[in-house]
Structures are given as C-alpha cells and as structure tokens.
Amino acid sequence: MKEKFIEKLNHLLAPLDPSERKAIIDFYEERFHTGMVYEGKSESEIIDELERPEDIARNVLREYGFNYPKDEVTKMNEERKSTSPWRVLWIILFDVFMVAWIVPALFGVLVGLASAWFGVVSGLLAAALLEMSTMSIFNLVFVVGFGFLWFLLILWVYDLFVSFLAWLVRWHADVFAIKEGRSLVRFLNRIKASTVIRRRPKLYRFKNAFKGVALFMLLIGGGGLIIMQGSVALKGDDERIQHEETLMPATMDGWVIETMLDSGHVTVQRHTGDDIRVEANVFERFENEIDIDEDEKTIYVKNESTISIVFSFNWIRTMFMEPDEVIIFLPENLTIDDVDVSSRNGGYTMRDFQLSNLKVRTSNGNLLLENIEAVETIDMETSNGRITLNTINAVEITSRTSNGRVNVTDLEADDIILRTSNGSITVRGANSQNKDGQTFFARTSNGSVDVEEVYFKEVELRTSNGNIDYHNTDLTFIVENLTTSTSNGSVNKNVPSH
C-alpha cells in the first residue's frame, strides 16, 4: 500500500524538478517510517491520516506555480476569468490599499522578532552562564527552551511572509499572463523554512522532537524560577531596610557619581544642607554598598541581589509595596563633573544640574532629565521605559529606548539622536533659539514622529509604521539635507529644504 501511494504521488508530481520531487517524496517516506517505527501504526492507518495523492499533488504543484491538470472546459473558464477587466481593477485596488501596508508590516514584524530574539536570548544566556548556582541552572534551562520556541515563531512568521509573496506573485502572473511568474513562485517556495527543513529528514525529526523538549524545559525552568525567586519576593521575611551615608565635603568642585544597581530608581537632587547624603530604601536580600570618597571625589552606590534576577519577580512585590529607591542629595554649591548610572531594574531622575558628561543605562525604567546643562555629552538608554528631556543643553544628546515614548522639549545641542523601537517621538523645540544645529536624527519602528521648531542643517525623520509631522514657524530657515521616510503613514511638513 505504501509503495502504491508513493508511486502515484511521484507520478503526479512529474512537473517538478527532480530534486524538488525527491524532497517531497522523502518527506512522505519519512512520515511512513516514523509512523510505523515510533508510533506502531500500519501502512493503511498512516494512509488514512494523509490526504489523497491527488490532493497532495494539487496543493504542492500550486505552491510551486504549476497548474494541476484540468479538463478543457475548466481551462476555458479560467482563461476567460483571467482576462476579465474587473479582475484587473480588483488587483490594482488590492495592491494600492492592502499590499502597500501588509508587506512592510509583515517584514517589520519579522525583523523586530529576529532582532529582539538575538538581543534578549544572547543577553539572558550570557547572564545565566556567568553565574554558578542552582538558580542559574533554572535560568539556563528556561532560556534555552524559551529561545528555541521563539526561534520557531520567527520561522513561522518568515514562512507566512514568503507564502504571502508567493501567493501575490502567482495571482499577478495569472491575471496578467506573466509566464516568468511561475519561476519566481517556485523560487519563493524553495526558500521557505518549512521547505528547507522538509528536505532534510534528520533536521525535520530534530525540530519535531525538540519542540516537546523545549516546552518541557520552559515549564521546568520557569517553575523553578517561580518557586525559588517568587517565594523570596512574597515571603514576609524579605524586609525593607534603610541605608544612609553622609559626608561634609571639604571641597565642592569636580565630584563624580557612579551607580551599579540590580534594582532601584535613582534620583539626584539638590538640598539646602551643606552635606552630601545618600539614602537607599531597598529590600534586605540586596547587598548594598554606599561609599562617599572624599579623596577621589566620588559618590559610589551599588546594590546586588543575593539571588539571580535574570528573570526577576520584583514585579510581584512592587504591586503592593514601594519600589526600591536611591536618592542622592547634594548641596546647592557642589559641582558635578561626570555621572555614570547603571541599573538593571529602575529609572533615573535628575533636575537642575550643570555637569560635564552624563551616561545612564537601565534595562527597565523611565528616564527623566530637566534643566540640565552638560559641557560635553548626554547619553541615555533604557530597554523598556519612557524618556523625557526638558530644557537640556549639551554638545551631543543621545537617547535610546527599545519600548517606550520619547518626549523632548527645549533642547540645545550640535547633534541630537532620538531612537525608539516601539513608541512615538515628540519634539517641541530643538535649537529654536540659536538655529545653529548640525544633525538631528529621530527614528522609531512603530509610532509617529512629531517635531516642531527643530532647526538643524541636516534632519532625518524615519518610522516604519506611523505619520511624520515636521513644522517650523521660521520659514526663512532652510534645512540643507532633509530626509523623511515612513513605510505606512503620511508625511506632513512645511519646512523648506534643498
């Protein structure tokens, strides 16, 4: 029975290239082998589960751009239908109103998933491998399972994108009688991930087997993390502690602030006293270190979780309790040279300061700067959070977030870079006073870009999915090089440019 099934299918797939036909036949040979050896089924039971050879051949040939043999009446009807002007009108309307946004949207989702997979999985793997503990084992198991399933999702979206392109090409080729379209359809079907995997039986077996293993690893790793970390977060013995350090500085010039936090929102603010004071309000499972070094003129704050937080359950705790917080109080007349803030889970707030350089890195938290003047650079980055900049002056300003809005008001700088992967960018004033900026760059993958009163020689505004608005009141100012680009949205501007 199996030989008859395979022989008939092989005959019906004759229009395909030998290598393509062999790949499909090998796939069904493998299906019979797996069913009989590993599932204990008979040939007749497997055949009952499969489609008829005629149905399989019809679907496969259509995927590869071939027409399954039809009678003469069917051929005449299809020829008459393909030359209908209504079909031509319909395909034009579909291209204009549907294809124009579906293709960029699918491509954007694919690129976003792949980029996020590489960044997230590689980062989590590195964090898990650096630790040697029971918790790190659960982290590693979870990340491997999670990463593989995420990768399968990327392959599925990729196949969806390629299949849509193949269907689109085949439809256009049928309507406009383009013979070359069939070759392109066959090429697109060859490069689908499912086709590549199907042609390699060992790879196909590995994928199917490891799907179950990955799901099991996801459950075991996630369960272990919840039990070990969640119990600490929810138990009442994880008490909050107050940690405070003070110093009466002998000199007020040239101080540096450095923080390295596993968790905590950092706030730097002035106070009326003459002392430097650092207050930390954190949970006792964090090892806290505060050092105010008079000789080095350095304020150093560090906290580190006593258990791994690659997958942190701090959110369970903070639903009901105050978040971890570090507040640095500085005298009115104390000057700051550099600020270097790093936090894995927490934001940053700073108001009313003059300094040389500011650098902030956080994985999860909002960033807020108000009334800041930097002699050189301001560089801010958060993986998940909103960035707000109000009344900032520097030579170069850079702000990046992977997931959050960017809101900017009254900036003065030679060069400004604003980036977000998922969120809108709003600018109300950049070099609006001197009108002497060099480069201004704003880009988001998913959201609008809305800028007003932005005066730079070179301006670049980009979004993959959203509108772009650029308006100035001074229309005598000419942008030397203006670039605006949106894949799915409109561009509205009144700014003259060369």
pLDDT, one tens digit for every residue, the chain (498 residues): 788 888 888 888 888 878 778 888 888 888 888 888 777 788 888 887 888 888 888 888 777 666 555 544 344 445 444 556 777 788 888 888 888 888 888 888 888 888 778 777 776 676 666 555 556 677 778 888 888 999 999 999 999 999 899 888 888 887 777 767 777 877 888 888 887 887 777 787 788 888 888 888 888 887 776 676 555 554 544 566 788 899 999 888 989 999 988 777 899 999 999 999 999 887 665 677 889 999 999 999 887 765 444 444 444 444 444 557 889 999 999 999 999 988 877 889 999 999 999 999 988 889 999 999 998 999 999 888 899 999 999 999 999 998 889 999 999 999 999 999 888 999 999 999 889 899 999 999 888 999 999 999 999 999 988 899 999 999 999 999 999 999 888 999 999 987
Amino acid at 74: T
What pLDDT score does 237 carry?
A: 47
Which two structure tokens, joined as six digits, stand for 431? 């070099």
What pLDDT score does 410 carry?
A: 95
Q: How far apart are CA 346 and CA 367, in angstroms?
A: 9
What pLDDT score does 236 carry?
A: 47
User: Comparing C-alpha atoms, which of 226, 204, 185, 235 is closest to residue 60?
Assistant: 185
User: Comparing C-alpha atoms, which of 363, 409, 403 is closest to residue 386?
Assistant: 403
Burial bucket for residue 171 (CB in 10 Å: 0-12, 13-18, 19+): middle
Give me the half-sphere count of Cα atoms (radius 13 Å) on the Cβ side of residue 484: 21
Which residue shows structure tokens 């270190």? 289
If one counts every other C-beta atom within 10 angstroms of the C-beta of residue 212, the result is 9
Strands, E assignment, 212-347: 240-247, 255-261, 265-271, 276-283, 286-293, 298-305, 325-331, 336-343
3-class DSSP state of 102: helix
Which two structure tokens, joined as six digits, stand for 380? 């801010």
Helices (H), 378-476: none
Q: Decide if 300 contacts 290 (C-beta within 8 A).
A: yes
Phi, psi dihedrals of residue 255, rounded to the nearest 5°: -85, 160
User: Comparing C-alpha atoms, which of 443, 385, 388, 442 is closest to residue 415?
Assistant: 442
Q: Decide if 350 contacts 330 (C-beta within 8 A).
A: no
Give the max Cα distance, the chain: 100
What pLDDT score does 128 carry?
A: 61
What pLDDT score does 262 carry?
A: 75
Q: Decide if 396 contacts 439 (C-beta within 8 A).
A: no
Burial bucket for residue 437 (CB in 10 Å: 0-12, 13-18, 19+): buried
Q: Decide if 277 contacts 319 (C-beta within 8 A).
A: no
What pLDDT score does 286 carry?
A: 62
Which residue ranges make up each domain of the chain?
A: 240-347, 366-498
What pLDDT score does 74 carry?
A: 46
Residue 477, H or E segment: none
Q: Decide if 447 contacts 424 (C-beta within 8 A).
A: yes
What pLDDT score does 172 carry?
A: 83
Taking CA atoms, 153 is separated from 113, 143, 206, 239, in Å, by 9, 15, 16, 41
Taking CA atoms, 203 is separated from 194, 374, 446, in Å, by 11, 56, 35
